[in-house]
Amino acid sequence: MLSKKLEEALNNQIRIEAESSQVYLSMASWAEVKGLEGVAGFMYGHSDEERMHMLKLVKYVNERGGHAIVSDLKAPETEFGTLPKMLQRLYDHEVFVSQSINELVHVTLEEKDYATHNFLQWYVAEQLEEEALARTVLDKINLIGDDKGGLYLFDRDIQQLIVESAASDTAGE
């Protein structure tokens, strides 16, 4: 059985994961209308992944005797200026989510809920990967600078990241 404090903290994380999905959906739409099909596909995939993270939490809360709450979501930005600025926002958002997961893990220790602590270790590992991926993508786009040919290749190459990421996701199941 979840403590009320932990249930509230998990419900807050459910909202954060749902908002993350919306943020990445907005980024995908922005990239798509800019003609960046590879980036758009990457962001659509990220949006789906965040929704799955949310659903995993919803099911966990409900299975542990709590009540997962579907709450209002803050509307995401719809304009990002440039691709490097958008990818910086992606990285910053992943850092924010990592901090939130870490705070949640801290609550599990305070509440001595070791089952939830163990459950959240998947999220801790996932966030390490998410931050590393966002940092890699940001570093690559910053290396390119204003080179249009480089941007074209980046947009094409990011599609390969999607394929590799999907392959590694299914390998772990």
123 contacts 20 by C-beta, under 8 angstroms: no
Check the annotation: does 50 bind a ligand. yes
Hey, is 146 helix, strand or coil? coil
Is 17 marked as binding a ligand?
yes
Q: Is 53 annotated as a binding residue?
A: yes
User: Is 110 labeled as ligand-binding?
Assistant: no
Rounded Cα gap, residues 46 and 73, in angstroms? 18
The Cα 159–Cα 46 span in angstroms is 12
- DSSP, residue by residue, 4-62: HHHHHHHHHHHHHHHHHHHHHHHHHHHHHHTT-HHHHHHHHHHHHHHHHHHHHHHHHHH
In our burial notation (b when 16+ CB lie closer than 10 A, e otherwise), range 64-91 reads bebebeeeeeeebeeebeebeebbbbbb
Binding residues for Fe cation: 17, 50, 53, 94, 127
Can you say which residues are annotated as belonging to the binding site?
A: 17, 50, 53, 94, 127
